Amino acid sequence: MPGVDVPETDQQPKTPPRLWIGYVIPMVAFMALTAFEGWEGSGLSYPVLYTFKAAIVTAALVMSRRVWRDIQLDKKMILPGILVGILVYVEWIYVDRHTYHFAILGKRTAFDPYHAFDNSSLRALFLLVRFYGLVLMVPLMEELFWRSFLLRWITDPEFDRIKQGQYSLSAFAVVVGAFSFSHPEWLAAAICAAAYALLLRKTGSIFACFLAHATTNLLLGIYVLQTHAWTLW
């Protein structure tokens, strides 16, 4: 996986100042609010905290919508995106089942909506919000941050002049490692990050990565509901 050779010329376009903010702020908000979710001293229920997080992160994404231009709809990318998403879903379930979990990486809230809600309408409303976050919000936020921004920024701080899918081996390793250790399912997450990055390398399409991520998360969400494996979300 070769590095990226960016010629230094006066004509080379410069990355607009503070462009990185649009990629980073939604992720920072998400991580901070996720940490707050597990704080029992908040006195708030998980559904309230998650809904609040979804609203704040969505607002941050909307305010940063300038960077959404990186996700270009391409019908040719639909099939490869979905196929990679299915493969990652399968490996996530299988690999995590046989992986040791390190306490330092934390754990999922493991919220059971069937136990928590007697009212079926409230349960359905929460599940709607939860699946919105799982299938749309998180894939959009994470693909813009990890694959569109961080892979290129580590390769070259003037990241906006690098084409999607071009990144150095060191950037690949750092992003796979960071993505891995930001998830309790660290080994499955490492394979997931590598798969999405290689999909990007092959296609040059953040849309393909977004679709793969959304497919993986949708299937994981359905699996959790069917098996009540709440520790996976």
How high is the mean pLDDT of the chain?
92
Band of pLDDT at residue 133, cut at 50, 70 and 90: very high
Token couple for 79: 């099939």
Q: Greater confidence, 17 or 22?
A: 22
pTM of the model: 0.91
Looking at residue 51, its amino acid is: T
Q: What is the pLDDT of residues 135-186, one digit of tens each?
A: 999 999 999 999 999 999 999 999 999 999 999 999 999 999 999 999 999 9
Query: Domain spans of the chain?
Result: 71-232
**From 104-108, 137-141, 209-213, the region with the lowest mean pLDDT:** 104-108
Token couple for 21: 């903010």
Answer yes or no: is pLDDT of 11 > 70.
Answer: no
Q: What is the pLDDT of residues 19-60, one digit of tens each?
A: 899 999 999 999 999 988 766 555 578 999 999 999 999 999
> For residue 39, with 0-12 CB atoms within 10 Å meaning exposed, 13-18 middle and 19 or more buried, which class applies?
exposed
